[in-house]
Amino acid sequence: MSAPPWSTSPLTTEQLLWKAIMNRPKYITFGALLLVAAVGLSGCTTASLDAGKEAAAASTPGKDAVIPAAAFNQAAANLLPSNIKSKGTLVVGTDPTFAPYEFYAADSKTVVGWDADFAKALGETLGLQVKMVPATFDTILPGVSSNKYDVGISGFNVTAERKMNADFAAYQNSGSGLAVKAGNPKKLALDALKLCGTKVGGEKGTTQGIETLPAFSKQCVDAGKEPIDIQLFPSQDEANLALISGRVDSVLSGLVAMSYASKLSGGAFELASNDDFEPTAVGVAMPKGSALTKPIVAAVKALIAGETYKAINAKYGIPDSVTIDANAVDASAAK
């Protein structure tokens, strides 16, 4: 590892943020780091801290809402493979740095969020307990393939490449959003030729990092412009903090998550646009050809057709534009 970007001289805000990332406890929450960052960038005023706390509190519209238990579905449960039935638990790999879908609760160890509530409801539908296991995003699908996790639920866009190695049960349809510094000083947009020569951050293993940004950069080169300087980080937290500190000019990630993160940033960054770029199915990942595929697809269909799905969406302020109906669930599953 290279030497840290500070010396004996007073630390800048960027250096303090870097130090916080490198030395943070394993389970420190993204919201806490963003609030520290926002306060540091705004002059450490009490008003800034209060504004950041208010933004964080407001970011989950129905944070205290009680989600009704999902109805048990005997037909779906009957399809479960014997090893899962006997175990009685569905082990879920997830990356808790992607609020509002998955993040840590105030105890800094419990995974909460839309996907956590959805996973719990999925378990109720199948008569199973659910265990959420934290992991870095780029290791979840390999972990699913090797049976380290029974399924992966972490905002996975369903792509042709991913379908080569996994089955999916879709539960949303969503695309990408571009976050920029407050006021968008560089006038950036989610358009390849508007990003040429700039530093764009993302998370390792995401479709934005491994597909969209390289394709954008190629468009820049083909047009005779400078390529995009793509900066990929181990977690979404670190990508967003890089934007706050100025180490990148923008961050490309899921639209809903970036909108949520912008509210937590205390005004440090914002979306370049509310347009949903290239929306695709988002779903539960299972091993390719798994005996779990049919029961998970059946359970997700039943769940989406019921009231629990609507209640979870309402709790986290998920827009109707990304929700799907039960008929779209198995469009991305193995045929």
Same domain, 108 and 256: no
pLDDT tens for each residue of 307-324: 999 999 999 989 888 999
pLDDT at 328: 82
Tell how far CA 225 is from the center of its chain. 31
Same domain, 106 and 227: no
In a domain, 8, yes or no: no
Mean pLDDT, the chain, integer: 84
Q: DSSP assignment, residue 51?
A: H
In a domain, 67, yes or no: no
Q: DSSP assignment, residue 109?
A: S
Q: Is the pLDDT of residue 110 over 60?
A: yes
In a domain, 3, yes or no: no
pLDDT at 263: 86
Cβ contact 177:276 at 8 Å: yes
60: pLDDT confidence band, cut at 50, 70 and 90?
low
Task: Report the candidate in 148, 66, 137 with the shortest Cα–Cα distance to residue 101.
Answer: 137
pLDDT at 33: 46
Same domain, 185 and 324: no
Predicted TM-score (pTM) of this structure: 0.77
pLDDT at 306: 93
Same domain, 241 and 226: yes
pLDDT at 62: 57
Same domain, 169 and 294: yes
In a domain, 43, yes or no: yes
What domain range is 203 assigned to?
Answer: 13-62+176-277
pLDDT at 332: 52
Q: DSSP assignment, residue 228?
A: P
pLDDT tens for each residue of 230-255: 999 999 999 999 999 999 999 999 99
Q: What is the mean pLDDT of residues 260-284?
A: 91
91: domain CATH number is 3.40.190.10
pLDDT tens for each residue of 189-226: 999 999 999 999 999 999 999 999 999 999 999 999 99
Same domain, 184 and 244: yes
Same domain, 181 and 273: yes
Q: Is the pLDDT of residue 168 over 60?
A: yes
Alpha carbons within 13 A on the beta-carbon side of 311? 14
Q: What is the mean pLDDT of residues 62-84?
A: 90
Same domain, 239 and 325: no
Same domain, 37 and 186: yes
Same domain, 55 and 109: no
